[in-house]
């Protein structure tokens, strides 16, 4: 057990572009504590999605280590990564990515069934739906719900298996300002309640008061931004 949910150590990523090399991430180092809500800002194309995909082991880095709760991922095999992705990482994307032919309850049960952890699934689902204000969506299909409601289901799905870390790539981008803020608030609420770490990539400067730490990704480097004092 580590104080940190996830540590990225000297992560670098580049793509070959003809004869030249396009460096996207250059020696990125960051440590994120359990229960810490982090935002990553940066211009379009700066590598934010690439960094999240590497942190979630959906994409491999050229160099560097990913350490989840003190456990180095580098020396594990593909099969172990798949299991870790499923059980220890929750993903939230810009568009909910719910399955169109499943109800809310079924979406959540599907991910619950994929892990070996024995939680009381029905109770768990009920609690999430109540916490996120979508009790009435339990039997609904995605097409019967609003964008904000679908994104709340996606939050419940990401937190369902009690992951160590939540990775959210512009989760508020498809919503208007007020609904986007509610989604960030819900993520914060679950992060604090479950003591889960979360990294949220965002463009929305108006929700930054909801996070604990802000980083900026630019020219391949990740830098911590000093937080403005809350008045």
Ligand X SMILES: Nc1ncnc2c1ncn2[C@@H]1O[C@H](COP(=O)(O)OP(=O)(O)O)[C@@H](O)[C@H]1O
Q: How far apart are CA 47 and CA 29, in angstroms?
A: 14
Residue 26-65 contact track with ligand X, rule CB under 6 A, x = bound: ----------------x-xxxxxxx---------------
With contacts defined by CB under 5 A, how many residues of the chain interact with Mg ion? Answer: 1
15 binds, among ligand X, Mg ion, none (CB under 5 to 8 A by kind): ligand X
How many Å from the N-terminal Cα to the C-terminal Cα in the chain? 36
Q: Is 15 in the site for ligand X (CB under 6 A)?
A: yes
113: three-class secondary structure by DSSP: helix
**217, 200, 208: which is closest to 93 by C-alpha?**
200
Q: How far is the CB of 151 from ligand X (least distance, A)?
A: 18
**Least gap, CB of 44 to ligand X (angstroms):** 5
Mask: binding to Mg ion, 23-62, rule CB under 5 A, as x and -?
A: --------------------------x-------------
Angle between helices 177-194 and 121-131 (to 10 degrees): 140
Burial of 157 (0-12, 13-18, 19+ CB in 10 A): buried
- For residue 151, the partner it binds in ligand X, Mg ion, none, with Cβ less than 5 to 8 A by kind, is none
Q: By CB under 5 A, name the binding residues for Mg ion.
A: 49
């Amino acid at each position: 057990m580590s104080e940190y949910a996830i540590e990225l150590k000297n992560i670098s990523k580049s793509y070959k572009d003809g004869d030249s090399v396009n460096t996207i991430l250059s020696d990125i180092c960051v440590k994120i504590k359990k229960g810490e809500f982090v935002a990553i800002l940066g211009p379009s194309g700066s590598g934010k999605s690439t960094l999240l995909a590497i942190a979630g082991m959906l994409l491999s880095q050229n160099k560097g280590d990913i350490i989840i709760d003190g456990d180095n991922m580098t020396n594990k095999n593909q099969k172990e990564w798949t299991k870790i992705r499923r059980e220890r990482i929750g993903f939230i994307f810009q568009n909910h990515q719910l399955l169109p032919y499943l109800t809310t309850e079924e979406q959540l049960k599907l991910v619950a069934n994929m892990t070996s952890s024995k939680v009381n699934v029905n109770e768990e689902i009920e609690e999430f739906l109540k916490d996120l204000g979508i009790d009435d969506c339990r039997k609904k299909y995605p097409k019967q719900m609003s964008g904000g409601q679908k994104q709340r289901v996606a939050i419940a799905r990401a937190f369902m298996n009690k992951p160590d870390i939540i990775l959210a790539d512009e989760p508020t981008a498809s919503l208007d300002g007020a609904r986007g803020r509610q989604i960030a608030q819900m993520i914060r609420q679950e992060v604090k309640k479950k003591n889960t770490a979360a990294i949220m990539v965002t463009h929305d400067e108006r929700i930054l008061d909801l996070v604990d730490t802000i980083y900026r990704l630019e020219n391949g480097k990740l830098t911590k931004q000093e937080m403005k004092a809350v008045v």
